[in-house]
Structure 1
Amino acid sequence: MTRPSRRSFLAATGAAILAGPAFAQQAADPRLSERAIGRAGAPVRVLEYFSLTCGHCAAFHRDTLPQVKQKLVEPGTVRLVYRDFPLDRLALAAAAVARSMPAERYEPFIGALLLSQDRWAFTRSADPMEELAKMAALAGMPRPRFDAAVRDEALARAILEGRQAAEREYGVSATPSFVFGPDGKSKTQSGAVGFERFQQLVDEAGKA
């Protein structure tokens, strides 16, 4: 479980990004529409707050998510909704790039980023942003679109405001964090939980 330094990161992003139109005013941007797997009418909704530079998030996607997909998402029990909670500038840029992908490429792209962090996020022999650009190119994003996505302050601001809303509404303070069940009856669980614990929390949410 990775705990962010909220003050340091949000201070580093600067008032220039956080100032401006409210998150609600960005709602018409299709890049901010819900990204999820599982049917819309599934009995249990699970929100996953993650950072693309978080090793614990990568561990969940590697070790637990395949079972979640097979045993809970595909049978129609769970709808897993992806929510950005970037821990640093690189994660913020990666989130902006991922949201600038066509919606159908979003989930495969973030999966590729999480499972290959050593190639782009933690590389010591190359510029991480250049390596991220290469990953985006492999997913079909031309370099001009990549550059536009990482420079888009309105998109960055909306992502950061979504992170702040998660802190305020669900008490999210670490990644990954999962919110099980509907608003008002939800339970937040942090850490790269194993499948048995995930299943237990889904069962509890289904009875709430």
Structure 2
Amino acid sequence: MQTILRKLGLVVLALFGVAALAGAGKPLPQNGQRNWNATVTRTATGSHVLGNPAAKVKLVEYISYTCPHCAHFERESDTQLRLGFIATGKGSIEVRSFVRDGIDMTVALLTHCGAPSRFFANHSAFLRSQDNWIAPATSATDAQKQRWYNGPLPARTRAIASDLHFYDIMEKRGYSRAESNRCLGDTALAAKLAQATQDAADKGWVNGTPGFLLDGVPLAGTYSWAALKPQLEARLD
């Protein structure tokens, strides 16, 4: 469990956004069932929903990309959630960024890069490669930290992306450096993510990550797939 480290010192801008549904207008599979694992909705507050927007059971996950437990949860739960929860149309999962520091913000901006349909693969790519970049992040020099935490947001996020080889991850995902830089400079999105993080902390919804809401109710003491799974199954019965 990762505790809240500190509030971000970002100026919160006016929140705005347009919900977009990936897969709209695509033909249904031959069995007549929509492929809910290919249905992604981007919300006005900058989160993403995978699955049926009208699902009976709605799971919200608060994620910190620098949290080892979040990376572990991704590896353990992803396949089971997609097959037994999302594919049926009975469940959906909404991923919300819980931004603890500049590295978290940098990764969050990159995962949001591109169309909504690309978010979950970006999200998985950073969590599943966390072991490769977390050690350099924790052993940064004073000079690196100066660049990471001083100056305008685009300069800070681009310094982090360069030092931790995030551009390489994005290139493998098909993004050019220019595309990544545009996403790293998205101050409006950064403000949304910071505000959503602050709201969750103020409401007491997140005491550690990963943190969960199930049908709008915070799940106290639930930080792993082993703890979450039976609670999901009980709601689906």
TM-score range, shorter chain: 0.7 to 0.9
Distance in 1 (CA, whole Å) between partners of 2:131 and 2:172 is 16
TM-score (norm 1): 0.81
TM-score (norm 2): 0.72
Alignment partner, residue 199 of structure 1:
229
Distance in 2 (CA, whole Å) between partners of 1:58 and 1:46 is 18
- Provide the aligned length of Structure 1 versus Structure 2: 193
Alignment partner, residue 95 of structure 1:
108
TM-align CA RMSD: 2.5
Alignment partner, residue 41 of structure 1:
54
Distance in 2 (CA, whole Å) between partners of 1:145 and 1:121 is 23
Distance in 1 (CA, whole Å) between partners of 2:186 and 2:78 is 30
* Contact 2:200/2:206 (<8 A) preserved: yes
Alignment partner, residue 161 of structure 2:
129
The structure-2 alpha-carbon separation of the partners of 1:205 and 1:189, relative to structure 1 and needing over 3 Å to count, comes to: farther
Counterpart residue type for residue 206 of structure 2? V
Structure 1 gap ranges (5+): none
The structure in which a higher percent of residues are helix is 1
Moved more, 90-99 or 162-171: 162-171
Tell me whether 1:153 sits opposite 2:187 in the alignment.
yes
- Between structure 1 and structure 2, the one with the greater Rg is 2
Counterpart residue type for residue 111 of structure 2? A
Alignment partner, residue 132 of structure 2:
119
* Contact 2:90/2:236 (<8 A) preserved: no
* Contact 2:106/2:160 (<8 A) preserved: no
Superposed CA offset, 1:72-116 (max 9, x none): 222222100110112221110110111122211110111111011
Tell me whether 1:172 sits opposite 2:165 in the alignment.
no
Alpha-carbon offset, residue 3 of structure 1 = 0.8
Structure 2 gap ranges (5+): 21-41, 141-158
The structure, 1 or 2, with the larger RCO (C-alpha pairs under 8 Å, 6+ apart) is: 1
Q: Where does 1:30-69 land on structure 2 (aligned, <5 Å)? A: 33=44, 34-69=47-82
Name the SS of the counterpart of 1:42 in structure 2: coil
Which of these residues, 27, 33, 54, is aligned with residue 17 of structure 2?
A: 27
Alpha-carbon offset, residue 203 of structure 1 = 4.4
Alignment partner, residue 75 of structure 1:
88
The structure-2 alpha-carbon separation of the partners of 1:190 and 1:141, relative to structure 1 and needing over 3 Å to count, comes to: farther
